[in-house]
Structure 1
């Protein structure tokens, strides 16, 4: 009977190593419980619009360009640290000094900012938008 107890202990010792693979696979296939953080429901970000949400990496500007494509950006303008506004008409505008960014790429279209918005990796998983 001591051997089965040892086997049970050995079996439970094997439990922690399987916890490591979901952390490795979380970015690509681990699911929202395997390391990805749910940011919003897909229905909360209609096609052609965007929304600033709080998520695992901090605030994220989610921009939905089509039924199957969502992009994430750090919503802080690289010019002076002001939070940008969600997109309208394909552009993202900074209310602080008027910098304009392309909503689909985050690229700077008009200064005073000298660089675009920083991308944040996101993906659609089921009916949610999650960190990638």
Structure 2
């Protein structure tokens, strides 16, 4: 599962184990908004950077810095950003 919260520029992912993760949806390479998960990575279509959907780490450049982690909690099935 992946959801991009456009008004806050946050990308939310859910792992196969059910863990929810949130990151800045702004690519650290040139500031484009990532477009979602493709082939197991968060993808920025501007220049092809890919990020791990669980950690935000760079999987493939040109980005060299991971996506910023956004604190998140799930309460009664609702995602809440800290």
Corresponding residue number in structure 2 for 1:105: 55
Q: 1:85 aligns with which of 13, 35, 56?
A: 35
**Which 5+ residue runs of structure 1 have no aligned equivalent?**
1-48
Give the number of the structure whose residues are more often helix, by fraction.
Answer: 1
CA distance in 2, matches of 1:112, 1:68: 30
Deviates more, 1:95-104 or 1:59-68: 59-68
CA distance in 1, matches of 2:10, 2:61: 21
TM-score normalised to the size of structure 2?
0.89
Q: Aligned pairs, how many?
A: 82
The answer to whether 1:50 aligns with 2:30 is no
* Alpha-carbon contact 1:51-1:61 (below 8 Å) kept: yes
Stretches (4+) displaced over 2 A: none
Give deviations 1:46-86, integer Å, cap 9, x for gaps: xxx2111146xx22110011464100000000000000111
CA 1:119–1:54 in 2, change beyond 3 Å: closer, same or farther? same
Whichever of the two has the greater Rg, that structure is: 1
CA distance in 1, matches of 2:17, 2:79: 12
**Which 5+ residue runs of structure 2 have no aligned equivalent?**
none
